[in-house]
Every structure is written in C-alpha cells, then in structure tokens.
A and B are shown apart, each in its own frame.
Chain A
C-alpha cells in the first residue's frame, strides 16, 4: 500500500513540476495579489478595532489559501487528463488500491502547496512581517498550509472523478474562488459591516482556515482559532476523500 501510494505520488509530483506552465502561475499569482492588496488596502489598518498595523501581515495567510485553491485545480485537471487518456482504466487493471490511487494523486498538489507555503512565508518575512508565535508558529503555519492544500487538492480529485473532464473541473473553479472571497479574507469578521456578508463569512469554513493561519501571524497562540482552523481543514480532507472514494467506485464500475 505504502509503495503504491509512493509510486503514484511520485508520478504526480514529477508531472506537476516538469511543466513550469503548470506551477509557476499558481505560485506567482497569489504573490501579485498580495503585493497589490497589501498596499491597496493598507488604509484599512486605520479602522478602529483592526487587529494589526501591517496589512501585509493580515493578508499573508490568504495567499496560502489562494495557492491551495490553484493546487486543487492542478490535482483535478491532472486526474481528469488521466481519465481522458485512459490511464485510470489501465490502472484499474492493476492491483493498485483505490485509496492508494487517491492519496497518491494529490502528491503534486501537496508538493506544490509545500513549495508555495515556504515561498509565501519567506516573502512575508523578507518584507517585514513578524510572526507573533515565533519559529514554532512558523512551522505550524507551514503544516496548516500544506493540510489546506491537501484538502482543496482532494476536492479537486472529487470534481475530476465526478465530471471526468478538465473543462468540467475548471468550470467549477469560479465557485471555489467565490467561496474564498466571501470570507474574512480582507477584513476581520467583526469589522464586516454588511450583515448578510458577515453571516455568510461566519458559516464559511474558509474564514476559519484563514483565521487559524492569521492567528499565528498576528495574535499569538489562540487555541480556539487553531482548533477551528485545523478542525475545518481536516474535515475538508475527510469529506473530500470520502466523496472522491465513492466517486472512484462509480467511475470504475462504469468502465
């Protein structure tokens, strides 16, 4: 089982990093948005109750999430291509277990998520972001960022198995993007003025993922924020894996 996962994961990682066109835009786009938004929204730090005087520190965690979102697209499109080219069908004739296939397939997304997390954290530190929880907090940020990439990547696999096409996966991308926008990405929830937006942001798990990361950067050790952040992330992984596993059985039965 371990060897099966490793073989598929290695293929997924090599395939992702062999094509610069696949991994460079997802790596750089969140950096561009971070550069623009951290300056364009700096005035927000003058609002009474804003938790920090550095908007870059406030916004940095969103970059991890956005990078993870792109990673989900990569994982999904890669699996959709495997379905399209018949690779998945050929794999079905081998003794590879479905669970090994799913866990291995997200290897590329996890690898990219890890690279993104290191780059974003490095850029943040280089531009003067102070991590309130120190070195231990920085490692926890990397861990949570990789887990978030795993969660979104697994969701991408489910979409690929459900739609069976790269276009199908990409067409869902705006919805996932929307889910990240209707969150506390730009302002803390208590400062969001519009009631319906604040309510949606409050029931949106993405807010808690961002707030878990954010707490480590700007507010120190916050057990509640971390529990919610890790809890929703692990729940996303579990639910997406369950959905993807069920969909894999359906797809295998069809073929």
Chain B
C-alpha cells in the first residue's frame, strides 16, 4: 500500500503542476455534454422516447461514464510517459510489491476523475438536470461510473505497460471510444435500428448505461446485471493490466 499511495500522491502532484494535463480531460466531457444535451434535446420528442427524466439527465449519464472511461485512459498516457522517461523502470526496481504500482495509478485515476465528476455534476445541475433518484440511486450511478473509470485505467495500463510509449495512445483511446459510441448514446436502445441496434444489444456498456439512466430517473432496473458486467470487466482488465506489468518486468 505504501507503493500505491506514494505513487498516487506523485501522480496527483504532477497533475496539479501541469494544467495542460488536467484541463483537456476536464473540457472534453463538458464540451460533449453541452453539445449533446444542448443540441439534441429535441430528440426527446421522437415517438417511443420513454425516458422521463429529461434529455439533460439522459445525456449526463452517458457523459459521466465517458468521462470516467477517458479519465482512466488519460491516466494511462501518464503511465506510458513514465516509461518513456525512465521513471517507471526505476519504480519497478525499487517497489517491493509491484502490483502496488497498478494500484497507485488506479487511485490517481480515480482522484483525477472524481474532480471531473464534481465539475460535470455541477454543470449538469446548473443546466437544469432533473434528478428523480434518491441518494441510494445516485450512489449506484456513481458506483457504476467509478468501476468504469477503473476499467478504463486497467485497459490503458495494460496497453501502456506492453508498449511503454506514448505512441500507443491511439490504441488506448480508439477501442474505448468505439465501445462508448456503439451504445445507445443519443436515444434509448429501442429506438436504434439496423446494425447499430444489433451491436448495441451485445455491448456490455449498453446495460451499464441504461442502468445508470434508470438510477438517475429513480426507476432502477437490471441493477444486478449492470454491476455484474462492470465487475466482470474489472476482473478481466485487472488480469490484462497485471500481465502487462509482467511484460514490462520481463522487458528488462
């Protein structure tokens, strides 16, 4: 745990000293939120749009999950940068328990995203977002987002530790971007048609996203399925990150 907390402290300090590392990941979800919630709100009048919490809340959940995933991915850039600059190698030599390195990066990613989530929620409330759910519902929604943040970090961590270069950035981002946008982003699943409906039905994020939306409108459904899928993704990508660490260790 000393390794984890020490590394997390260092990562957060680096973040605060470099606004250029902190501000873009903060702005990106805010921009998406404004563009989607502001520009597309008329979609709630499409026949069959059955979300009762308003379009701002509908989009807020997607953007919250998007910011969580990309918060993890951007933290992965930091891992790759640490390898490029030699810091991660020194860390591998000095850490008595190396899995603490992953835990340290994970804590830093969580703290980093928590700040973004606070800003995003504040903006959502200022924009008149309706919250139908109670405290427990919101705990569920943010809980899903926290797990998704860690899944994003573990994915990016696995990539960063295998490639050990910032040039692997597109490989970290693109699959996450695709998974996010192959879910029912703009309208509920039932209103999608064609191939995207078929893909979205199989996309694990769809269940997490729909569950999050149900939480915010105070009508939680498929909670066990959503948390089960999120936990399964966490386990799979924890294994991916751990084997990535092993690859970094073996690379000398």
Contact = CB atoms under 8 A, between A and B. Distances in A.
Q: Which of A32, A36, A167, A174 has the most chain B CB atoms closer than 10 A to its own CB?
A: A36
B39 A201 contact: yes
Interface in A15-38: 25, 32-33, 36-37
B169 to A, nearest CB: 11
B34 A36 contact: no
A182 B39 contact: yes
A41 B193 CA distance: 10
B192 A197 contact: no
Given A36-B196, A44-B46, A197 B187 contact: no
A174 B29 CA distance: 11
Given A25-B170, A174-B24, A174-B31, A40 B192 contact: yes
Contacts, number: 88
B194 A192 contact: no
Contact of B39 (A167, A174, A177, A186): A186
Max chain A CB contacts within 10 Å: which of B48, B49, B181? B181
Contacts of B186: 40-41, 43-44
B41 interface: yes
Interface in B5-41: 20, 24, 27-28, 31-32, 34-35, 37-41
Given A186-B40, A187-B40, A36 B181 contact: yes
Interface string A154-194: 00000000000001000100100110011001110001111
Interface residues of A, number: 30
Q: Interface residues of B toward A: which range?
A: 20 to 34
A60 B27 CA distance: 26
B33 to A, nearest CB: 10
10 contacts: A43-B191, A44-B46, A47-B42, A174-B28, A181-B39, A182-B34, A182-B39, A185-B39, A186-B40, A196-B38
Interface of A: 25, 32-33, 36-37, 39-44, 46-47, 167, 171, 174, 177-178, 181-182, 185-187, 191-194, 196-197, 201
